[in-house]
Amino acid sequence: MGKTLFDKIWDSHVITDLGNGFMLLHIDRLLLHDLSGARALHEVMEKGYVPPQPRLIYATPDHAISTQPGRTEETFPPGAPLLRGLRANAAKFGIRLFDIGQDGNGIVHVMGPEQGLTLPGTTLVCGDSHTSTHGGMGSLAFGIGSSELEHVLATQTMVQRKPKRFRVQFEGKVPEGVTAKDMILHLIGDLGTAAGTGYAVEYAGPAIRGLSAEGRLTLCNLTIEMGARTGMVAPDDTTYEYLAGRDYAPKGAMWDRAVAHWRTLPTDPDADFDREHTIDMAKVAPQITWGTSPEHVIAVDRAIPDPDKGPEDKRAAWTAALQYQGLEPGKPIEGTKVDWVFIGSCTNSRLSDLRAAAAIAKGRQKAAHVNAWIVPGSERVKREAEAEGLDRIFKEAGFEWREPGCSMCIASNGERVPPGQRSVSTSNRNFVGRQGPGARTHLASPAMAAAAAIKGAIADVRKL
């Protein structure tokens, strides 16, 4: 019987079978950030372990640094000791750290693929739930917890139980105004946030083949929001074109050998999955979340759901979500006034995302009452966007152009949406208080977020 993409990568990384379904896997890449990474490095130091293969480990500060223009590590004082600790311990162990202001710095899930650190057929882990992002390159990537992270630092291996296999096929053509973000939000809306628990997800079908490499990263990024720790897309020419020439990607004869190997990775036609689901792309419209879970999502031209008409087991959660969000059931969501627009995060802060937002902002003005932030995902994204004049387009439209980092996605650097205010955000979580205590978040694509900034309210990007 044939093998899946997941099985091929998994099997080639098993060091030993530990019994009871547990395997010891070799880890090809470990990425560290300034919250979980800094903490784990410190613990490992204290315990006297030494990373055996530091050249497979890379670090970048992203969560606890200010993104204010002209920032230094002191601009957000609580983050400074984290960065200093990360820097000192990385240097001690010979781990490459991409420091703020340097090429290579950025949100860990943006800089990994961008630098060619994330490669097809490899195992990649990070102490961060959105590590699933890297699966967009055809890598087997997991977010891991703090004790697993220390284990990887000390051994470059990890103990895992093999997940089941889940394939989602996206059939048909991508409709106007629909992006990778809308595809994954639609899927989560369909299946709910627990559907992927215990599975490794593979995204397949013609609409996935047609997605850009960056679109595939966006898609895989939200895999954790449907409960699966890993999501992946088989590598193809789109992947190889994206990776060719990147700093840490193989070069010359090594590149040719790597591509020949990568071409053997896609799922065999006769491989089996434990679960399958199909999405008809004709039914996917631009999405916007209305509640406090990524599954609380609707097409932008729909009405805010009525808990009394919803499934019985969801009524209490829907009612609480509507109350927190200050929304009335049955009313159109379009036209809901917004105070903030945040275009950034490891979901949607890459060059193609900023281009999509700039295409909407160009020649227009943001609504006077809206604070609109553009936070590029990495130093490289920022420089490339500036080289093609995107920063000017945004500034002329009244948006703020900032330094790279996680910023308002999680507000762990103090950048937050004030209580009671409403934001349209290109990030991946709309949980209670995620963008600051009392903040109300609506998740959407970069084009939809830019449209909301222009209109001053939730807007249908197809009508602009």
Ligand X SMILES: CC(C)[C@H](C(=O)O)[C@@H](O)C(=O)O
Q: What residue ranges bind ligand SF4 (CB under 6 A)?
A: 62-63, 107, 109, 128, 130, 345-346, 406, 409-410, 427-428
User: Shortest gap between Cβ of 225 and ligand SF4 (angstroms)?
Assistant: 10
Residue 425 touches which of ligand X, ligand SF4, none (Cβ within 5-8 Å per kind)? none
- Binding-site residues sit at 346, 406, 409
Q: Which two tokens stand for residue 148?
A: 């697993």
User: Shortest gap between Cβ of 347 and ligand SF4 (angstroms)?
Assistant: 7
Comparison of 129 and 239: residue with beta carbon closer to ligand X? 129
Comparison of 123 and 129: residue with beta carbon closer to ligand X? 129
User: Shortest gap between Cβ of 107 and ligand X (angstroms)?
Assistant: 9
Residue 179 touches which of ligand X, ligand SF4, none (Cβ within 5-8 Å per kind)? none
Alpha carbons 97 and 108: distance in angstroms, whole number: 11
Comparison of 327 and 410: residue with beta carbon closer to ligand SF4? 410
- Binding-site residues for [4Fe-4S] cluster sit at 346, 406, 409
Instruction: Show Cβ contacts of residue 130 under 8 Å, excluding neighbours closer than 6 positions.
Output: 109, 143, 221, 224, 346, 347, 428
Edge-to-edge strand ranges of the sheet holding 230-233: 230-233, 199-204, 164-171, 275-280
Point out which residues bind ligand X (CB under 6 A): 35-36, 63, 128-130, 143, 410
Angle between helices 351-361 and 446-455 (to 10 degrees): 30
User: Shortest gap between Cβ of 294 and ligand X (angstroms)?
Assistant: 12
User: Shortest gap between Cβ of 221 and ligand SF4 (angstroms)?
Assistant: 8
Comparison of 129 and 325: residue with beta carbon closer to ligand SF4? 129
For ligand X, the nearest residue by Cβ is: 129
User: Shortest gap between Cβ of 131 and ligand SF4 (angstroms)?
Assistant: 9
Residue 35 touches which of ligand X, ligand SF4, none (Cβ within 5-8 Å per kind)? ligand X
205: left (phi over 0), alpha (psi -120 to 50) or beta: left
C-alpha radius of gyration, the chain, whole number: 21
Comparison of 124 and 410: residue with beta carbon closer to ligand SF4? 410
Residue 107 touches which of ligand X, ligand SF4, none (Cβ within 5-8 Å per kind)? ligand SF4
Alpha carbons 283 and 187: distance in angstroms, whole number: 11
Residue 427 touches which of ligand X, ligand SF4, none (Cβ within 5-8 Å per kind)? ligand SF4
